[in-house]
Chain A
């Protein structure tokens, strides 16, 4: 009797789950109220545990670092004298650099975006996915598709927002696709996360046109044609660019600027590319029509998931 009942429940739950999977892959927004509701209950717990954990962990790290620091301090004092000398020489060059930068208008472009800070409160503990959760949500003005930066480089994109939390998929996640371009030559490429590379701290760069001028060490920034990523955010540096076997494209690796294994605080850019495009629409219609908005970066994206 008991086993029959549990069998029925199992069947009901199975059907329920399969239906839900089907429905939510089409309409993800239906679940927002539920996620928000649970968020009210769960986020304070997560925040608290996270804070307690990091305090304890930081203490331990601080202590071990203190010993190292004392030793280092001795060495440093010697180095300082050498460096002061070099510094004066460099300062002169610094002024020159500044002038040249202005000349080329290479001043870090994303400095002008509005940003708010957030704390990472939870990570995915399995290594299959690279996503994390931050303690700011729609109450703080965060919306889906907002870009997340840390340490001077692109970290990821907001995929899900509750009232007091949001979920961020980092660019090293296996399903992440970012449309990028080389800063110097302006050639476009796709920066793709790859599970087989992330332990080495690298991402993949694909679909670089063969005739384009992307060299090792080039700065790769988010491109103008991306539908969800704001233009001009530094992603990382190109390395090991080689010709593909098809002789049409080149590919290689990207070393990201942001350090993904130790992210604790991030900045969320509170501007949306979609809004920017609406304002600019009269001038550049072809940009928006090239790819459907809010599709980029997901597995299904046809335009940016060119995986060989």
Chain B
């Protein structure tokens, strides 16, 4: 329970930082996609169903921020949580290579989704330009952030789990 509240707060915090702090830093030509990192790591750590719910929350926040068709971001984030949740059987605490590869894959899928449904649909064909100028910097930033944030999560989550276990055992 405590872990869920913690994770939900993390998503809210990530959303605010992403939209209110990063744009203030003009030297960042791109910024890490924190919501994406959180969604896929929660899916990866806690399984399909949990990943889906966290994805739902992250997606809804994004949809409420943008004024386009509602549900656009919710859809991709729900799937991201779910699909990454499948990989949860390979989840092994100190193993960081897999999450890094997954963050690249997720960024690629996420950005292609935006490109196809928001740009290609309007006959904007310069995919090479978009890739080198938008997608690639974001992937690099996201991977670096994953490297830092994922470790932190593992430690915090382990901590919370321990507290929970201790709490359970005292009741029982």
Residues of A within 8 A of B (CB): 2-3, 5-6, 9-10, 13-14, 16-25, 28, 31, 34-35, 38, 42, 45-46, 49-50, 53-54, 57, 121-129, 131-133, 159-160, 167, 169, 174-175, 195-196, 199, 261-262, 299, 305, 307
Q: Are B69 and A25 in contact (CB under 8 A)?
A: yes
Give every chain A residue within 8 A of B22 (Cβ-Cβ): 123, 125
CA distance A3 to B23 in the complex (A): 40
Give every chain B residue within 8 A of A19 (Cβ-Cβ): 71
Q: Are A122 and B17 in contact (CB under 8 A)?
A: no
Q: Are B16 and A3 in contact (CB under 8 A)?
A: no
B118 CB within 8 Å of chain A: yes
- 14 example contacts (A-B, Cβ-Cβ < 8 A) are as follows A6-B82, A14-B75, A14-B79, A17-B74, A21-B69, A122-B23, A124-B23, A124-B66, A125-B18, A125-B23, A159-B67, A196-B126, A196-B130, A261-B26
Using A54-B24, A125-B23 as known contacts, say yes or no to A3 and B48 having CB atoms under 8 A apart: yes
Q: Are A195 and B70 in contact (CB under 8 A)?
A: no
Give every chain A residue within 8 A of B71 (Cβ-Cβ): 16-21, 24
- Pairs A-B, 9 closest by C-beta atoms: A123-B23, A160-B67, A20-B71, A17-B71, A17-B75, A122-B19, A6-B49, A24-B70, A50-B20
B interface SS class: helix
Distance in Å: Cβ of B171 to nearest Cβ of chain A = 25
B56 CB within 8 Å of chain A: yes
Using A20-B70, A196-B126 as known contacts, say yes or no to A53 and B24 having CB atoms under 8 A apart: yes
Distance in Å: Cβ of B143 to nearest Cβ of chain A = 15
CA distance A3 to B85 in the complex (A): 10
Using A54-B24, A125-B31 as known contacts, say yes or no to A49 and B17 having CB atoms under 8 A apart: yes
Residue of B nearest to A300 (CB): B122
Residue of A nearest to B19 (CB): A122
Give every chain B residue within 8 A of A14 (Cβ-Cβ): 75, 78-79
CA distance A196 to B138 in the complex (A): 16
Distance in Å: Cβ of A168 to nearest Cβ of chain B = 10
Residue of A nearest to B121 (CB): A299
Q: Are A45 and B24 in contact (CB under 8 A)?
A: no
Q: Are B67 and A28 in contact (CB under 8 A)?
A: yes
Distance in Å: Cβ of B121 to nearest Cβ of chain A = 8
Q: Are B138 and A126 in contact (CB under 8 A)?
A: yes
CA distance A174 to B119 in the complex (A): 9
Q: Are B52 and A10 in contact (CB under 8 A)?
A: yes
Give every chain B residue within 8 A of A175 (Cβ-Cβ): 118, 122
Interface residues of B in 63-119 (CB under 8 A from A): 64-67, 69-72, 74-75, 78-79, 82, 85, 111, 114-115, 118-119
User: Which of A21, A34, A54 is close to B75, meaning CB atoms less than 8 Å apart?
Assistant: A21
Give every chain A residue within 8 A of B122 (Cβ-Cβ): 174-175, 299, 305, 307
User: Which of A10, A35, A121, A174 is close to B78, meaning CB atoms less than 8 Å apart?
Assistant: A10
Q: Are A13 and B78 in contact (CB under 8 A)?
A: yes
Q: Are B75 and A121 in contact (CB under 8 A)?
A: no
Give every chain B residue within 8 A of A6 (Cβ-Cβ): 48-49, 52, 82, 85
User: Which of B49, B75, B124 is close to A195, meaning CB atoms less than 8 Å apart?
Assistant: B124
Q: Are B119 and A131 in contact (CB under 8 A)?
A: no
Q: Are B52 and A46 in contact (CB under 8 A)?
A: no
Q: Are B70 and A13 in contact (CB under 8 A)?
A: no
CA distance A42 to B49 in the complex (A): 26
Using A123-B23, A195-B130 as known contacts, say yes or no to A13 and B52 having CB atoms under 8 A apart: yes
Residue of A nearest to B78 (CB): A13
CA distance A14 to B76 in the complex (A): 9
Q: Are A124 and B19 in contact (CB under 8 A)?
A: yes
Q: Are A262 and B72 in contact (CB under 8 A)?
A: no
Q: Chain B, 124-139, contact with A by CB distance < 8 Å: what is the 0/1 string?
A: 1010011001100110
Distance in Å: Cβ of A299 to nearest Cβ of chain B = 6
Residue of A nearest to B53 (CB): A9
CA distance A307 to B22 in the complex (A): 32
Give every chain B residue within 8 A of A128 (Cβ-Cβ): 111, 114-115, 118-119, 134
CA distance A18 to B76 in the complex (A): 11
Q: Are A125 and B19 in contact (CB under 8 A)?
A: yes
Distance in Å: Cβ of A159 to nearest Cβ of chain B = 5
